[in-house]
Structures are given as structure tokens and as C-alpha cells.
Amino acid sequence: MSGWDVARFGWLLACTLVASVTDVRERRIPNWLVVVCAAATPVWWVAGSVAWTGSLWGGVLLGGVFVVPAVFGRVGMGDAKLIAAIGLGLGWQAAGPVLVGTACGLLTSAAVTRGLGRRVAKGCPLAPALLLGVITAAVARAI
């Protein structure tokens, strides 16, 4: 991985970590945080760390996976916007590892929610699962 790749993954990990903490505490992901996460994308384009076409496809692919459940209230709209911003930053090549890591996080979240039963009214926050997805993509890229 180049230095720009390390910076890109570090930025996305930091943004997703802040989103995870906020999501666990407040059960929401603020719009300003999603904008900050996506704002660095043009820097990665200029640096050549990710192609702008691949970046846009990543945002559409990952955001598209979550927009339908968000519209029907199954996941929060902040989660859908955050994963679209992550897709912009990572590009379409990393979409597979992000989805695999996120699926692992969702399965863990579902097991925890099921285990806690009625004590968790809305289920577990999704941002920690997205964090696991970004970590999975970073490890897959490094290998």
C-alpha cells in the first residue's frame, strides 16, 4: 500500500470510528460527520489513490445496497449515507470486502439483539458493523 492508501484508510477508519461512537450513544449519525467523511474524496482523486470513476461506482454500489432498507425503515438513513461516503472513499474494488465485513458485523449485531430480546427496542447500531467492514477492506488491501 502506498502512503496515500494508508492515509485514505486511516481517514475512513477515523470517520467511521467517530460515527460508531455517536451511533452507539445517540442512535444516529449526524450529517456533518458524513460530509466530513466524504469531503476528503477529491483529495484521493488528485493524489491518484482512487480513480474518480471507481470512487463514484463505489459510492453508488455501497449506498445502493442500503438505500432501499433505509427507505423502508429497516436501517437508518444516516447509515446509508455513511456507507455511500465510505464507498466514495474506497472505490468499487473495495466494495466486496466492505460488504463481507459489514455482513459479519450485522450478523453479530443480530445475534446480540436476539440475545438481549426486548431490552433492545430498535436493535443494535449499524455504524460499528460498517467499521468492521472498513477494517476488513483495509486488511484485504494490505494483503
Q: Mind listing the pLDDT tens digit of every residue in the chain (143 residues)?
A: 788 888 888 999 999 999 999 998 998 999 999 999 999 999 988 988 888 888 898 889 888 888 888 888 878 899 899 989 998 988 877 778 888 878 887 787 777 777 666 555 566 788 888 888 888 888 887 87
Task: Report CA-CA distances (Å) from 54 to 14, 37, 74, 80, 102.
Answer: 22, 17, 28, 19, 20
Q: Would you give the end-to-end CA distance of the chain in angstroms?
A: 9
Give the pLDDT score at 118.
55
Which pLDDT score, from 0 to 100, does residue 124 have?
73
pLDDT of residue 119: 56
Question: Mapping DSSP to helix (H, G, I), strand (E, B) and coil, where does residue 43 land?
Answer: helix
**Using CA of residue 69, residue 135, residue 34, residue 114, what is the dihedral sign?**
positive
Confidence at residue 74, expressed as pLDDT on a 0 to 100 scale:
79
Contact, 63 vs 80, CB < 8 A? Answer: yes
- pTM for this entry: 0.85
pLDDT of residue 70: 86
At residue 48, the pLDDT reads 85
